[in-house]
Amino acid sequence: MRALGVTNDTALLRRLNTRATLHALRQGGPQTLTQLARAAGLSRQTAEVALADLTERGLAEESSPTEGRAGRPARRFRFRAEAGHVVGLDVGPRRILAMLADLNGDVTEQRWLDADEHMPAAERLALAERAATACVEAAGLARGGVWAATVGTSGVVDRSGRVSVSTLIPGWTGLDLGGHVGRWFGCPGFAANDANLAAVAEHWRGSARHVDDLVYVLSGYRAGHGLLLDGRLRTGRTGSAGELGRLPLAGWEDPSVVLGEAGRDAEEIFQAAQAGDEQALAVVDRLAHGLARGASALVLVVDPELVVVGGGLSRAGEPLLERMRAHLAEMCLNPPEVALSTFGEESIALGAVRMALDHVEQERLGL
């Protein structure tokens, strides 16, 4: 029970109202003083004071004085999204993606780099740093221009940003990933599980925009489940929430085995299935069954509104979804909606950006 009796003087009011003004400014784009005051639920004078404060902190700026309407031209303000930036990284077994985004979360730079599955940890880290600094330099940011950074990776990542279990990436287990990335830019650094970050991205701007309880199924080469409840990430005590590896689910089939038995290239099967090929559809059905088995455990446990399917198998598209819906309907009392991931391969880095922004908004913007 904190945040109650810390400083309930008028300074708190001021902070609250500045926060409300900043929120209104970020939500509604460039606005006049009067519009901002109305949006924030404040008087014009109060909004003005708040904006003076924000301007001094570099977060707001008075912009183009007017546009063609009757009456005295209104003062317009805009949010200075370029006042700070965050870095989001996806460090996978085979590829690395770095993104640089401004305070609006708009991605201004991004770099893909290829990695090797067997690459040692130090080399992979160096590659990730190169991808990230390339973005930062391309944007011409000064030292201290990165306010927070987050890495997403496969494996179990604990609250402190340390990888506690990683089976896919050599030398990864025990690595303080969050600490490393923070040191690169002299800013707070975080790390999280890839499926969890993908879930965050979908909730932020993707298929799960209007949903607060969702399960993300990362299928394919990297597998895992992400869990968002009440709009917040659930990683569990040790960060291993959603790691179903050892749950003895009856009748589960490994996707790679299924695809192996099919004897055709995955992409080929997916296209054939979308064209209506019976044999390919049967393969997709078996894949869907496997995904639904895993997802059903999460669905039965948390009863979410939506299941978002991402990762390699999601390239099978609508036929896969349709079969997953059917299988989930058999396995669950109240089957949730099922949707495809919006962002595909970029979702993990995008979720990392969002997580870094969460920190910035809370700590530096005081939101």
How many angstroms separate the Cα of 61 from the Cα of each of 29, 30, 325, 352? 12, 9, 49, 28
Which range in 28-36, 113-121, 124-132, 343-351 contacts DNA by CB under 7 A? Answer: 28-36
C-alpha 247/C-alpha 223 separation (Å) is 14
- State which residue, 9 or 230, has the beta carbon closest to DNA: 9
3-class secondary-structure state, position 181 = helix
Residue with tokens 């198998």: 313
C-alpha 83/C-alpha 344 separation (Å) is 29
With CB cut-offs between 5 and 8 Å by kind, which of DNA, its own copies, none does residue 301 bind? its own copies
How many angstroms separate the Cα of 54 from the Cα of each of 21, 28, 42, 75, 219? 9, 16, 16, 15, 44
Which range in 39-47, 184-192, 202-210, 233-241 contacts DNA by CB under 7 A? Answer: 39-47
Among 140, 251, 263, 276, binds its own copies (CB under 8 A): 251
Task: Give me 193's structure tokens.
Answer: 């599980």
Q: Are 338 and 300 in contact (CB under 8 A)?
A: no
With CB cut-offs between 5 and 8 Å by kind, which of DNA, its own copies, none does residue 274 bind? none
With CB cut-offs between 5 and 8 Å by kind, which of its own copies, DNA, none does residue 49 bind? DNA
Q: Does 44 bind DNA (CB under 7 A)?
A: yes
Q: How many CB atoms lie within 10 A of CB 31?
A: 23
- State which residue, 283 or 365, has the beta carbon closest to DNA: 365
With CB cut-offs between 5 and 8 Å by kind, which of its own copies, DNA, none does residue 72 bind? DNA
Q: How many residues bind its own copies (CB under 8 A)?
A: 63
Q: Are 350 and 205 in contact (CB under 8 A)?
A: yes
With CB cut-offs between 5 and 8 Å by kind, which of its own copies, DNA, none does residue 11 bind? DNA
CA atoms within 13 A on the CB side of 363: 11
Q: Read out DSSP for 10-77?
A: HHHHHHHHHHHHHHHHHHH-SEEHHHHHHHHTS-HHHHHHHHHHHHHTTSEEEE----S-SSSPPPEE
Shortest Å distance, C-beta 199 to its own copies? 13
With CB cut-offs between 5 and 8 Å by kind, which of its own copies, DNA, none does residue 69 bind? DNA
With CB cut-offs between 5 and 8 Å by kind, which of its own copies, DNA, none does residue 165 bind? its own copies
Q: Does 6 bind its own copies (CB under 8 A)?
A: yes
Q: Does 80 bind its own copies (CB under 8 A)?
A: no
Shortest Å distance, C-beta 239 to its own copies? 7
Q: Does 56 bind DNA (CB under 7 A)?
A: no
Residue with tokens 């912009």: 63
With CB cut-offs between 5 and 8 Å by kind, which of DNA, its own copies, none does residue 241 bind? its own copies
Q: Does 240 bind DNA (CB under 7 A)?
A: no
How many angstroms separate the Cα of 1 from the Cα of each of 5, 16, 248, 363? 10, 19, 40, 19
- Candidates 218, 242, 145, 136; CA nearest to 187 is 145
Among 9, 56, 230, 278, binds DNA (CB under 7 A): 9
Q: Does 42 bind DNA (CB under 7 A)?
A: yes
Among 57, 75, 78, 159, binds DNA (CB under 7 A): 75
> Residues in the site for DNA, rule: CB under 7 A?
8-11, 13-14, 16-17, 32-34, 41-46, 48-49, 65-66, 68-75
> Residues in the site for its own copies, rule: CB under 8 A?
1, 4-10, 12-13, 16-17, 19-20, 23-24, 27, 39-42, 46, 156, 165, 213, 225, 227, 229-230, 232, 234-251, 293, 296-298, 300-305, 331-334, 336
